[in-house]
Amino acid sequence: MRIAILLTSLLTACAIVQAKTPDQLRDEFIAEMVGKYGFSKEEVTRTLYQAQLRRPILEAISRPAEKTLNWTAYRNIFLTPSRIQGGVDYWRQHAAALERAEQTFGVPPQIIVAILGVETRYGANTGGYRVLDALHTLGFHYPKRGAFFREQLSHFLRFAREEDIPATSPTGSYAGAMGVPQFMPDSFRVYAIDFDADGRRDIWLSPEDVIGSVANYFVKKGGWKRGAPVAQPIQGVTSKHQRLVDAGARPSLSASELAAAGLAIDPPTPEGAKLSLLDFDTDDGTEYWVGMDNFYAIMRYNPRTKYAMAVYQLSEAIRELHAQQQAARAPGAG
């Protein structure tokens, strides 16, 4: 026992000795930016010197998570009359860009709009922290995920150089997510596009760039399939089907496998489609859905099934209300 305690103490001591200080991590970061990406040491040092350690960011990311919401409570956050009407209004205001995005990428307007509704209420709440402060704070003062945020900081400085903007200007969430669609810096560099052809990729103030970038993300990162369904409810699922639920949210099942288990999909899914069986805990029991490739594409934006279902159901509510209001405005209506 004494030997075990001694070994534990030695290992703990070694870990303490090996832990790097923020200054050491910063020096390594600067050397990497100089050696790998061609920045000057003075340039990176000057930029980091302008970054501020923000304690509220550390408090926000370290705060114990709220109790897990069931699907009923989670759904009620996003499927509200104001958010649905807000989506219809956004669609109407930017109809041309949304139509062009659908033609170019195959992603329907309601899906793009719903993502923006869930993420930032259509740009009303994009976050008030300087991205430089957020990534600097978390990269050098949050050991639990410091490596991830230092990598994002590296992407962010390269993004600022590529876009020719001051690194002190962009704002975003406490975790460094940027603009109306809340792209992390690595996602911005890969998936953001100049959809309004003004020579810049602006996901803060250009609705066209926002819309095009989200659509591009869905296709390039998510593998969105043009014209394919997203999800549909399914009945008859019992505890004996748990192994199918446990197969996960990534589509790996076939319609024939579900049929062999006594589960009928109505309407039938496209020939050869891969499926997932999803469960959602509600106030009235468990609700089951079949997810398709496009449901998983939404999950590439955020990997939680409740998030993806909220986006999908919000998109459907927006689509239905948009159609109703368009019909009411049509000549001769009423």
Give the C-alpha separation, 177 to 182, whole Å.
Answer: 5
Asked if 232 and 265 touch (Cβ cutoff 8 Å), the reply is yes
Place of tokens 């969430």: 173
Average pLDDT, the chain: 92
CA dihedral 119, 120, 123, 128 (to 10 degrees): -120
Instruction: Name the DSSP class of 18.
Output: H
Share of the chain above pLDDT 70, in %: 93
Q: What is the pLDDT of residue 187?
A: 97
Grade residue 14 by pLDDT with cuts at 50, 70 and 90. very low
Q: Does the pLDDT of residue 41 top 80, yes or no? A: yes
Write down the catalytic residue from 119, 162, 316, 320. Answer: 119
Q: What is the pLDDT of residue 5?
A: 52
pLDDT tens per residue across span 186-216: 999 999 999 999 999 999 999 999 999 999 9
* Sequence-distant (≥ 6) Cβ neighbours of residue 66 within 8 angstroms: none
Q: Does the pLDDT of residue 238 top 80, yes or no? A: yes
Token representation of residue 141: 């003062």
59 is catalytic: no
Task: Answer with the residue of higher pLDDT: 267 or 218.
Answer: 218
Residue type, 128: G
Q: What is the pLDDT of residue 13?
A: 45
State mean pLDDT over 151-156: 98
Q: What is the pLDDT of residue 15?
A: 45
> Which of 54-68, 119-133, 303-317 comes out lowest in average pLDDT?
54-68
State mean pLDDT over 251-265: 92
pTM recorded for the entire structure: 0.89
Task: Answer with the residue of higher pLDDT: 241 or 18.
Answer: 241
The CATH number of the structural domain formed by 20-64+127-220 is: 1.10.8.350
Q: What is the pLDDT of residue 267?
A: 85
Q: What is the pLDDT of residue 64?
A: 62
State mean pLDDT over 10-31: 75
- List the chain domain ranges: 20-64+127-220, 231-291
Grade residue 166 by pLDDT with cuts at 50, 70 and 90. very high
